[in-house]
Homo-oligomer: A and B are copies of this chain.
Amino acid sequence: MADEAAKLDEALRRQGDTVRRLKQEKASPEEVAEQVAKLLELKAQLGTEEGKHKFVLKTPKGTRDYNPKQMAIREKVFNIIISTFKRHGAEVIDTPVFELKETLTGKYGEDSKLIYDLKDQGGELLSLRYDLTVPFARYLAMNKITNIKRYHIAKVYRRDNPAMTRGRYREFYQCDFDIAGQFDPMIPDAECLKIVHEILSGLQIGDFLIKVNDRRILDGMFAVCGVPDSKFRTICSTVDKLDKATWEDVKSEMVGEKGLSREAADRIGEYVQLHGGLGLIEQLLQDTKLSQNKLAREGLGDMKLLFEYLTLFGIADKISFDLSLARGLDYYTGVIYEAILLQPQNAHKEEPVSVGSVAGGGRYDGLVGMFDPKGRKVPCVGVSIGIERIFSIMEQKVEASEEKIRTTETQVLVAAAQKKLLEDRLKLISELWDSGIKAEMLYKKNPKLLNQLQYCEDTGIPLVAIIGEQELKDGVVKLRVVATREEIDVRRENLIEEIKRRTCQP
């Protein structure tokens, strides 16, 4: 029953996506009306279905459980990311899952509507964290820290429209690395990009590209194109949609919804279609209009420095200076970047996973000052790895390869060859545990030997320590190698050493 409801729920979600897509693509009114009718029908069906049982057995919308196999993949991904952060000398911190509501207020611009609030049950008004950057800035200001390099891996929460097959959730992990402090220009910024490069290379999920831009170049461009100051941030949000929408759609939002003049939009259009490397930077430094603007000149100068450092790091070929990159959040003040995968690795699946951005970040020099009672600033630059999409790709890779993933690390099963040996098994397994051996036994008084061996086959346990009456008399244990079916008698006092030797554990 719960399955039925879940299926319906999924169908409903897909139908909703279809309707939204058609509207976005400006499909004919007839076509939209037809799909909306289908949507309403599904909704009605779900209503009856839900009435049939006491409650729906599911996780909240946009969230999921991780089963042991998914956790094994997740741990593998985390290990690669954490070891990269540690290689760069990062410390680690943690903050609460919720913050005072006012801590988050005014930090996310148009995205603020996606924040989860807690119910007012008396006491403070709280909200779930929306990212790890604002809590980090609050942490710095609260503890008067002016200099730190830290990572933070935790779940964040956004009441967004979930698209779970594409790895977009309402509860999802962020893996953030940030460098706070007053330093010489572009050195920490370049290290953040090096880190993204190391992580995406290490994960082996295919080719990637890191787009780079600078908020100062964007703002300078807006100024010389004739965008009024008050519209910089909202036009910036619109430019940010260029990775998913066409220029025509973006332009029509600028002119129609945001009230920008057609001429200003056209001038922006000429710039945001540019992307390249050092050559483009040089070209824009010579651009008669843009080079007049102080902010743009500063941004372009730093961009040039950044590319020099990236060349020394040997990663400039994966970086593209792209004037269409804007990033949605309000708090960025300088360099911004976003990494995208170029060829999703899913040749075996019919429907390709469409993966977009897998990492993003930038410089935010003003955020900590917003929390400091005296407005003291702490310059910061950082990057956030969006790993849900990476999980999705890794999961599909594993499924396609039919590789068997072990979900436990058990080295040996303690088994009995005859009945009435429960006490002896308990004594033996206790000895193994106390010596640090990873061991299991079946929770039955008198399990059949065949079932015990089958359990090892199923779960990938490599060794079986078998005791029988004869073995107990002789002071030995029969050690069986599951893969080869080889069996040898090992003296009880040598058993632990023998298991360690055979499972390569020191």
Contact = CB atoms under 8 A, between A and B. Distances in A.
A98 B169 CA distance: 13
Interface residues of A, number: 91
Contacts of A1: 373
Contact of A96 (B59, B68, B309): B59
Contacts of A423: 312
Copies of this chain in the oligomer:
2
A139 interface: yes
B117 A94 contact: no
Contact of A56 (B60, B100, B190, B438): B100
Contacts of A118: 116-119, 128
Interface in A131-173: 138-139, 141-143, 150, 155, 157, 159, 171
A462 to B, nearest CB: 13
Contacts of A66: 93-95
A71 B97 contact: no
A142 B57 contact: yes
Contact of A373 (B53, B179, B194): B53
A85 to B, nearest CB: 10
A98 B60 contact: yes
Contacts of A440: 88-89
Interface in A392-418: 407-410
Contacts of A59: 95-96, 99-100, 142
A95 B142 contact: no
Nearest to A53: B373
Interface in A166-199: 171, 179, 181, 183-184, 187-188, 190-191, 194, 198
A59 B434 CA distance: 41
Given A60-B124, A68-B93, A98-B171, 14 more contacts: A55-B102, A57-B371, A60-B100, A60-B126, A71-B94, A88-B433, A90-B408, A97-B157, A118-B119, A118-B128, A188-B443, A198-B434, A313-B426, A314-B434
